[in-house]
Each structure stands twice: as structure tokens, then as C-alpha cells.
């Protein structure tokens, strides 16, 4: 059965990162996950599949023939250790997937996505790579067209939680990505409980509703499924490996200073080798200087990059232990791979590693250099029988499998309850600035001593079309009895009429929290979004109103009208009234 005929809701799968990474010799962890999901989508895991690419502010369809060749090329290079597609760059260019892209190709690709959405009214969009999640307006348009909404994979929140370890500006960019996720996602797939907690905590701090999350541990690749065989290691000297890109949060500097200290104080024959497997990254000039110019380290540190899986496996299998002194991680795939091979692990005591090691790793404070020094020398001098006993304990490690990963994801996708509505805070790009947000005269009127008096005054002023005075009275009523959902609705109406859009949004949001099944309230929220020209968000609320009240002719009329508007005139950059 082809993907086009497969049962399921249908999927628009985002290939943008894989297209941009097509020429890479070795994959990152996110690359591997992205490719695994693309292969499942292409095989019909979620029904009819449309591969797509973000280009020029639009989502355009990728020709199926080009997608198949791209995935075959990446599978051969990244998963099978085989030959690459020699003409992959020419293929992408000929398929219109590399800049500059003719306007006619871009238009045809965008129309193909729209047609797919109309043909498969339960289809959803899936982005596994974080790539392009800052394009909130484009994804909101796509969300409005797809009956199944959006599903995202979040790997970590490290740029937000630890901005000191990333490039300048990455914290703001990742916050924009997470705002898109929390605004549009009907489901968020996360790689660990640690990432789930990070996302939920950030959502709470920033006024978003808790996301629906599915934890799915990343599966190991072929070759990591069996403990280490008894083949000879690459070198005779005891050695330790660290598999990681060299970047600030990976804490290579601690290991290098530790090795330099051992080289200075110990006889050369007692100093084990440190094997660093991974490319050089960014903002680690101090680490690069140690590697390139420290004479004490030269005999004891081996730096390897761009290794294929077979070569990396050989180095891992012969190691006394794999070292992972990271300060922060979303998961720990190299940790899992080492333990799957029966290789002991010494790692940082951080939440992701505590989860990944299943209690079978030796955990240390990443800054406790004496502890790392003592454990490394103990492992280096360990007799063979003690080493065998240590490795035997690792047979209890439960290797995460891709089959169980996708079974959990498939069940979570099937169990989603429709689209996710925009959450309880306007994303930063939509925040309203200026006097309307804190317009004088719209604060609570303190002259009313009772809830009933405040509501009565609000109703009388509303009937007299004195919107600002009515808003003040309703705010006072809510100060006295804050759980009255219908008064929050009235405050939203009055604020909207008075031009205080942010206050209206906040009031409607609180009303929705108190009255989540009120169809008319969802309809009113849709009208609010039309007022501030956020058409995709308006459609989401109109659809929710129709779901709550399938007989509402008003909701049906607005749903049909806005869908037609979005198909014929997609919104450009967000605009709000002055």
C-alpha cells in the first residue's frame, strides 16, 4: 500500500531541515530523529503524506519523487553507512527546493498544500526539527487550513534556560519557537520527562495553558543493540571517550584541565587517553586553544570528527568508560548508546541523564573535578574481573526502541481532541502596544461597595453605550467576585468596544477558563480576533464554537467564510488597529 492510499488522517511533513542538511556527511541527533519521522510519514504511518518545505514565508509542497530520493540519500549516508546520492544538490535545485526558486514553482507548491488540506480535512502538520518554528504567522495560516492542526517535537529548552551556553540571540529565537508551539500545538512530542517539565514550567511562567505532551524516548540505531563484543580496542592504552560536539554546555574544558593536571603530576604511563569524538562547534575558543597549543595534552588527547557509526562503535566498545560532563541536556542519546553497548558511563548529575541512565550510570557534579579525577583513575586501573562485573550489571539496561517510540506517538496522535486553540496570552509578536493596553479610565471603579451594585451599574452603562464606564464597573464586580465567568465576558465586550484590545483578550481568556464549553463565548473570541485582523486565530475559535454547537448557523457561516478568505487571500504580516 502506498502512502497516498494508507488509512489515517493525513500529514503535511516538514522536510525543511533535511533539505538544508542534505550535504552533511554525518548527522546530528536532531537530524537522525527528523529522518526517522520523515521515513515513517513517507511510508504511510499517518495516512496520506505530503512532504513540504518552508520557503519565502510559505509552506510549499515537495514533489514526491524528489522527497523519495532525498530520504534514500540520507538513509544511505546517515543510517546505513553507504554511498550518498552523487547529484543530490542538482536534484534539489531541479526540483525547485533550493534558492533561487521561481515564483511559479513557489505558487504551485503553496497551492498544492492548500489542495491537500481540502482533500484531507483531518490532516495535521508535523515539525520534528525546531526549524522554522519562529515563523508563527506562516504556521498559523497553515494551522487554520488543516483540520488536524499542528504537532511539534520539542527536543529541549536549553537556549531559554541556559542562554550563557548558546549564541547571542538564541534565547529570544527559541522563546519565539516555544511561543508558536504553545499557541498552535494540538500535541507536543518530547524526548524526556525532563524536557516535558521544562516546557510546562515555561508555559506556566509565560501565561500559556499546559500543553498536551507525549514523552517518547528516542530509539537506538542498529549497531547499538548488543553489548560490546570481545574484539580488540583501537589502542592498547586505557582510554575514555566523550562523544559530543564541542560547545560550551558540553563542558569539555573540565576534562581538558583534568587531563592536563594528570599529565603534569603523573608518570606518562599512568595517564589514560582521552578520545574526543565530535566536530568543533561554536564559542569554545578556550577549548580549541587547549587542544591546539597545550603541549602537555598532545600525547594524551585524541580528537576525532566525522566518524561513521562503525568506527565510532569500535572506539566506544574498547573504552574503560564513556564520559559526559555536560551542564545541560534535553536527553542523552550518546549516554543511552554507550550503556546499550555495555560501556560504563560516568556523567553529570542532571535530570536528563538521571532519566537516560536508568540508575546505571555513575553520576557526579559536573564541577567536582576531584571526584571526576578519582573515578577516571579508578576505572583506568581497574582489573579485568572487576571490569567484567561492572559491565555485567549493565545488562539490566532497557534499550529504547524506535518501534515503542512510534507506537506511543501514534497512539497520542490518534487520541488528540481536535485543534489546540490559541492560549491564554497573545504571543509577543501580537502584543498590543500603546495607550489602549492601559488606557486611563478603564481601571476598576472603587465607588461600588457590593458585587450586585457594580453589576447593575455596568449593565446600565452598557445599555447607554458608555463602554469605558461599564468596563470600570464590571472590573469592580470582578474584584469582589472573580469567578463570575459571564461578567468576564461582559468586561471583554466593553473593552473591545472601548478599543482596549489587550484588556479584551485577557478578559475573554479568563472567561474561557471559567466557561470552557460555552459555544457563544468561543464565537465572540473569534469576532475579537477578526477585529484585530488575526484571521487564522479567528478561524480556530469559530471552529471550536461549531464543535461545541454543531447546529449554530452563525458559527457555520463564519467558519465557511473565513476558510474561503484564507484560501483566497492568505494574511501577510500581523496588523492591529492603531
Q: What mean pLDDT do residues 71-84 have?
A: 82
Could you tell me which residue, 308 or 340, shows the higher pLDDT?
340
Which segment of 39-48, 161-170, 289-298, 428-437 scores lowest on mean pLDDT? 428-437
Could you read off the pLDDT of 479-522 as tens digits, one per residue?
999 999 999 999 999 988 888 888 888 888 888 888 888 889 88
* Model confidence at 564: pLDDT above 90: no
Give the predicted TM-score (pTM) of the model: 0.75
Q: What is the mean pLDDT of residues 30-56?
A: 94
pLDDT per residue as tens digits for the range 357-379: 999 999 999 999 999 999 999 99
In which band, very low, low, confident or very high, does the pLDDT at 569 lie, cut at 50, 70 and 90? low
Burial of 50-74, coded b for 16+ CB within 10 Å and e otherwise, reads bbbbbbeebbbbbbeebbebbbebb
For residue 318, which of 341, 348, 298 has the smallest C-alpha distance?
A: 341
CB-CB contact of 210 with 393 (8 Å): no
Say which residues have a Cβ less than 8 Å from residue 230's Cβ, sequence separation at least 6.
none
> What pLDDT is stored for residue 441 in this prediction?
53
Torsion of CA 444, 447, 452, 454, to 10 degrees: -40
Q: String of b and e for 504-534 (b: at least 16 CB within 10 Å)?
A: bbbbbbbbbebbeebbebbbbbbebbbbbeb
Per-residue exposure over 285-307, b if at least 16 CB sit within 10 Å of its own CB, e if not: eebeebbeeeebbeebbebbeeb
Beta bridge partners of 347: 324, 363
Class of the CATH domain delimited by 3-215: alpha beta
Q: pLDDT grade, residue 38 (50/70/90)?
A: very high
Q: What is the pLDDT of residues 174-223, one digit of tens each?
A: 999 999 999 899 999 999 999 999 999 999 998 888 889 999 999 998 88
At residue 99, does pLDDT exceed 80? no
Q: Higher pLDDT residue, 535 or 321?
A: 321
Q: How far apart are CA 124 and CA 117, in angstroms?
A: 9
**Which pLDDT score is estimated for 24?**
86
Residue 574 clears pLDDT 50, i.e. is over it: no
C-alpha cell at position 262: 594528570
Contacts with 144 (C-beta within 8 Å, 6 or more apart), sequence order: 535, 536, 539, 540, 562, 563, 566
**Domain boundaries 428-568, corresponding CATH code:** 1.25.40.10
Q: Which of 83, 62, 63, 61 is nearest to 72 (CA)?
A: 83
CA–CA distances in Å: residue 185 to residues 148, 423, 499, 511:
10, 10, 29, 21
Q: What is the pLDDT of residues 228-276, one digit of tens each?
A: 565 678 999 999 999 999 999 999 999 999 999 999 999 999 999 999 9
Crossing angle, helix 451-463 and helix 485-498, to 10 degrees?
A: 40
Please say if the pLDDT value at position 292 is more than 90: yes
With CA atoms as reference, report the closest residue to 519 among 493, 556, 491: 556
Nearest Cα to Cα of residue 15 among 29, 35, 30, 33? 35
pLDDT bin (cut points 50, 70, 90) of residue 58 is confident
pLDDT greater than 60 at residue 440: no
Kindly tell me if the per-residue pLDDT of 309 is higher than 90: no
Per the listing, cell 538544508 goes with 20
Which helix (H) or strand (E) covers residue 339, if one does? helix 333-340
Locate the domains of the chain by residue range: 3-215, 239-398, 428-568
Contact yes or no for 305/278 (Cβ under 8 A): yes
Say whether pLDDT at 7 is over 70. no
**3-215 and 239-398: same fold?**
yes
pLDDT at 572: 39
* Nearest residue to 523 via CA among 566, 568, 492, 564: 492
The secondary structure element, H or E, covering residue 199 is helix 193-205
Rg (CA), the chain: 28
Bigger pLDDT: 239 or 91?
A: 239
CA dist., res. 572 & res. 141, Å (int): 10
- What is the rounded CA–CA span in Å between residue 188 and residue 381? 46
User: CA 503 to CA 495: how far, in whole Å?
Assistant: 6
Q: How many Cβ atoms from other residues are within 10 Å of residue 436's Cβ?
A: 19
Answer whether residue 420 shows pLDDT above 60.
no
Q: Which fold has domain 239-398?
A: Rossmann fold (3.40.50)
Give the burial string for 193-204 (b: 16+ CB within 10 Å, else e). ebbbebbbebbe
Write down the mean pLDDT value for the chain.
87
**Cell 500545538 -> residue:** 185
Contact predicate 503/440, CB 8 Å: no
**Average pLDDT value for residue range 343-351:** 97
Amino acid at each position: 500500500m502506498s502512502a497516498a492510499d494508507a488509512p489515517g488522517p493525513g500529514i503535511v511533513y516538514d522536510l525543511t531541515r533535511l533539505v538544508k542538511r542534505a550535504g552533511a556527511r554525518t548527522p546530528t541527533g536532531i537530524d537522525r530523529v527528523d529522518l526517522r519521522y520523515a521515513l515513517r510519514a513517507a511510508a504511510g504511518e499517518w495516512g496520506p503524506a505530503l512532504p513540504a518545505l518552508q520557503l519565502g514565508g510559505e509552506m510549499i509542497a515537495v514533489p514526491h519523487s524528489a522527497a523519495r530520493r532525498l530520504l534514500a540519500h540520507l538513509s544511505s549516508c546517515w543510517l546505513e553507512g553507504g554511498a550518498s546520492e552523487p547529484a543530490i544538490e542538482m536534484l534539489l535545485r531541479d526540483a525547485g527546493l533550493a534558492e533561487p526558486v521561481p515564483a511559479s514553482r513557489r505558487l504551485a507548491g503553496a497551492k498544492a498544500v492548500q489542495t491537500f488540506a481540502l482533500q484531507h480535512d483531518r490532516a495535521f502538520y508535523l515539525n520534528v526539527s525546531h526549524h522554522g518554528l519562529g515563523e508563527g504567522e506562516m504556521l498559523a495560516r497553515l494551522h487554520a487550513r488543516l483540520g488536524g492542526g499542528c504537532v511539534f517535537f520539542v527536543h529541549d529548552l536549553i537556549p531559554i534556560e541556559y542562554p550563557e551556553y548558546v549564541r547571542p540571540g538564541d534565547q529570544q529565537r527559541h522563546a519565539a519557537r516555544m511561543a508558536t508551539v504553545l499557541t498552535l500545538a494540538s500535541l507536543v512530542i518530547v524526548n524526556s520527562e525532563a524536557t516535558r517539565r521544562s516546557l510546562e514550567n515555561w508555559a506556566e511562567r509565560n501565561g500559556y495553558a499546559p500543553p498536551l505532551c507525549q514523552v517518547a524516548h528516542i530509539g537506538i540505531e542498529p549497531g547499538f543493540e548488543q553489548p560490546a563484543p570481545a574484539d580488540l580496542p583501537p589502542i592498547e592504552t586505557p582510554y575514555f571517550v566523550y562523544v559530543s560536539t564541542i560547545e560550551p554546555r558540553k563542558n569539555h574544558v573540565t576534562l581538558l584541565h583534568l587531563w592536563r593536571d594528570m599529565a603534569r603530576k603523573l608518570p606518562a604511563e599512568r595517564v589514560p587517553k582521552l578520545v574526543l569524538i565530535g566536530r568543533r562547534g561554536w564559542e569554545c575558543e578556550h577549548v580549541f586553544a587547549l587542544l591546539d597549543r597545550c603541549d602537555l595534552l598532545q600525547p594524551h588527547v585524541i580528537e576525532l570528527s566525522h566518524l561513521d557509526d562503525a568506527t565510532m562503535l569500535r572506539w566506544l566498545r574498547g573504552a574503560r568508560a564513556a564520559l559526559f560532563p555536560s551542564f545541560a541536556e534535553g536527553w542523552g542519546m550518546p549516554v543511552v548508546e554507550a550503556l546499550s553497548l555495555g560501556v560504563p558511563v560516568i556523567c553529570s548529575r542532571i535530570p536528563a541523564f538521571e532519566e537516560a541512565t536508568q540508575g546505571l550510570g555513575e553520576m557526579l557534579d559536573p564541577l567536582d573535578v576531584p571526584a571526576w579525577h578519582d573515578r577516571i583513575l579508578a576505572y583506568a586501573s581497574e582489573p579485568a574481573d572487576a571490569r567484567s562485573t561492572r559491565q555485567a550489571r549493565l545488562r539490566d539496561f532497557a534499550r529504547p526502541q524506535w518501534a515503542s517510540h512510534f507506537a506511543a506517538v501514534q497512539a497520542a496522535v490518534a487520541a488528540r481532541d481536535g485543534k489546540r486553540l490559541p492560549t491564554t496570552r497573545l504571543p509577543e509578536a501580537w502584543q498590543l502596544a500603546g495607550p489602549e493596553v492601559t488606557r486611563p479610565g478603564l481601571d476598576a471603579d472603587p465607588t461600588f461597595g457590593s458585587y450586585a451594585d457594580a453589576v447593575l451599574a455596568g449593565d446600565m452603562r452598557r445599555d447607554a453605550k458608555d463602554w469605558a464606564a461599564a468596563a470600570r464597573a464590571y472590573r469592580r464586580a470582578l474584584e469582589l467576585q472573580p469567578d463570575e465567568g459571564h461578567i468576564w465576558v461582559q468586561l471583554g465586550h466593553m473593552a473591545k468596544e472601548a478599543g482596549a484590545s489587550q484588556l479584551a483578550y485577557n478578559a475573554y481568556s479568563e472567561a474561557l477558563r471559567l466557561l470552557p464549553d460555552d459555544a457563544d463565548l468561543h464565537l465572540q473570541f473569534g469576532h475579537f480576533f477578526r477585529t484585530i485582523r488575526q484571521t487564522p486565530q479567528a478561524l480556530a475559535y469559530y471552529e471550536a464554537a461549531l464543535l461545541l454547537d454543531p447546529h449554530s448557523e452563525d458559527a457555520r457561516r463564519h467558519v465557511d467564510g473565513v476558510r474561503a478568505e484564507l484560501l483566497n487571500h492568505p494574511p501577510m504580516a500581523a496588523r492591529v488597529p492603531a
